[in-house]
Amino acid sequence: MAEAMIEFQNVTKQYQGGQAAVDGLTMSIDKGAITVFVGPSGCGKTTSLRMINRMVEPTSGIITVGGADVTSVPAAQLRRSMGYVMQSSGLMPHRSVLDNIATVPRLNGVSKAESRKRAQELLDVVGLASSLGKRYPSQLSGGQQQRVGVARALAADPPVLLMDEPFSAVDPVVRDELQKELLRLQHDLAKTIVFVTHDIDEATVLGDKVAVFAVGGKLAQYAAPDEILRAPANEFVASFVGRDRGFRHLAFSPSDGVTIHPVRTITAEQLPQEGSSDDWQLVVDDALRPLGWAGPGRAGTGPAMVPGGSLFRKGDTLRRALDAALSSPSGLGVAVNDDGQVAGVIAATEVLAVIESDRSVRHGGL
C-alpha cells in the first residue's frame, strides 16, 4: 500500500453564514503521487486544497502533512513549505520572471545570487528558454506564464505541490502540452501533488487517484481513474463522468488481443479512375505509408480514393484501436510501424469483440 502524505480527518469548513463548503471530508493522499480533486463549480475543491496549507482554516477536523497536524506549524511557514500554483499564474507584474521564480527561496533566506541561479535552472526544467528570465510576466503568453507559475512553485523544492486549476486559462493545445510536461516532471521529481480541476478528462489523464466531489463538499468517489470511469459509485459520478464513460476507460486497456491482419496495398498510380467493384484496397505511397482507401464503389461513382481514418500502432490502447477501426471508411483500421509504414489492418468487428470480452472479464467478479 502507498504511504500517506496528507490526511483529512473528518474535516468540515463552514464559511460565515453559509452552508458547509466542505462536509466531513476524510481521505488519505498518497506520497509521491498525483491526486486530482474534480467536481462541479462550488463543490469545495479550492477550499479543501487551501486547508492543506492553511490559507483556509477548517471549522472542525484535523489535517496532517507528513504525520504532523498542520496547526502545529505557523501558517506562513507551512505555506512556504508547499508549492502553490493557481489558475491565473499569480505572478508579480512588476518583477522579472527570474525574480518571480526566486520569491520563496529568497523568503527562506537563500542568497540573491544562489536563488537566481536556481531560478535560471528551473526555466529549463519547465521548458522555457533561459532568455525569458529577464522579461516581465505581461511579456509572456498564457502558457508561458503558467510554466513560470510551476517553476516558482518548484523553486524551494517542496515535497508537496498544490495546484488549483493551473491549466484552465490556456487553450486546449497548450493545455495538452502543459499536462504532458507535468507528467514528465513528475516522473523525475515524484512530488506529492494535489491538483484541482473541473475537467474529468484532465483528471483521468493526470491523476494516479481521482477524488470526485459533489456539491456541498461531499466526497462522492475516490479511486484510480480507470475505476471511476468503469464503475462510477453513484448516479452523480456517472453523470459527471459523462455519457461516453463506457469508452473512456478503454484508454487504460491494452490492445494486445487485437490481431493485425495483412492487407492488399496498391500505389496511387494503380488506382482505378472510378470505384471498382472489388474489395477495399489500401493506397500507399512509395515509402509504403498509407494515403487512403480505394473503395468497392459502383462503376461511375467518381474518384476511387477516400481518406483513411486515424492510425494504429502496436502497443497502443484499445481506445486507439477502436478509433482507428471506426474512423476508417473500410471498417479496417490501418496499423503502421514506427516508421509510419503500413503493417496491416485491424477489423472493427474484432476490436469490438475484444472490448466485449475485456468488459466481461472486468465484470466477471475476479
Ligand X SMILES: Nc1ncnc2c1ncn2[C@@H]1O[C@H](COP(=O)(O)OP(=O)(O)OP(=O)(O)O)[C@@H](O)[C@H]1O
Stretch that binds Mg ion, among 39-47, 116-124, 131-139, 339-347 (CB under 5 A): 39-47
- Min CB(164)–Mg ion separation in Å: 6
Among 3, 10, 15, 234, binds ligand X (CB under 6 A): 15
Rule CB under 6 A: is residue 46 a binding residue for ligand X?
yes
- Min CB(58)–ligand X separation in Å: 12
Cβ–Cβ < 8 Å for 71, 12: no
Stretch that binds ligand X, among 40-48, 249-257, 308-316, 335-343 (CB under 6 A): 40-48
> Among ligand X, Mg ion, none, what binds residue 43 when CB lies within 5 to 8 Å by partner kind?
ligand X
- Cβ closer to ligand X: 198 or 249? 198
- Cβ closer to ligand X: 39 or 292? 39
Distance CA(313)–CA(110), nearest Å, equals 49
Cβ–Cβ < 8 Å for 63, 9: yes
**Hey, which residues between 178 and 217 contact ligand X (CB under 6 A)?**
198
- Min CB(186)–ligand X separation in Å: 22
**Hey, which residues between 318 and 357 contact ligand X (CB under 6 A)?**
none
- Min CB(355)–ligand X separation in Å: 33
- Cβ closer to ligand X: 42 or 254? 42
> Among Mg ion, ligand X, none, what binds residue 193 when CB lies within 5 to 8 Å by partner kind?
none
Rule CB under 5 A: is residue 253 a binding residue for Mg ion?
no
- Count the site residues for ligand X by CB under 6 A: 12
Q: What are phi and psi of 142, to 5 degrees?
A: -60, -45
- The secondary structure of the chain in percent helix, strand, coil, rounded to multiples of 5, reads 35, 25, 35
- Cβ closer to ligand X: 17 or 364? 17
Q: What is the CA radius of gyration of the chain?
A: 25
- Min CB(164)–ligand X separation in Å: 7
Rule CB under 6 A: is residue 45 a binding residue for ligand X?
yes
- Cβ closer to ligand X: 48 or 204? 48
Cβ–Cβ < 8 Å for 217, 56: no
Rule CB under 6 A: is residue 47 a binding residue for ligand X?
yes
Among 46, 100, 192, 255, binds Mg ion (CB under 5 A): 46
Distance CA(293)–CA(275), nearest Å, equals 10
- Cβ closer to ligand X: 45 or 175? 45
- Cβ closer to Mg ion: 46 or 179? 46
Stretch that binds ligand X, among 34-42, 75-83, 236-244, 293-301 (CB under 6 A): 34-42
> Among ligand X, Mg ion, none, what binds residue 365 when CB lies within 5 to 8 Å by partner kind?
none
Distance CA(69)–CA(65), nearest Å, equals 7
Stretch that binds ligand X, among 39-47, 173-181, 219-227, 327-335 (CB under 6 A): 39-47
Give the interface with Mg ion as residue ranges (CB under 5 A): 46
Give the interface with ligand X as residue ranges (CB under 6 A): 15, 18, 21, 39, 41-47, 198
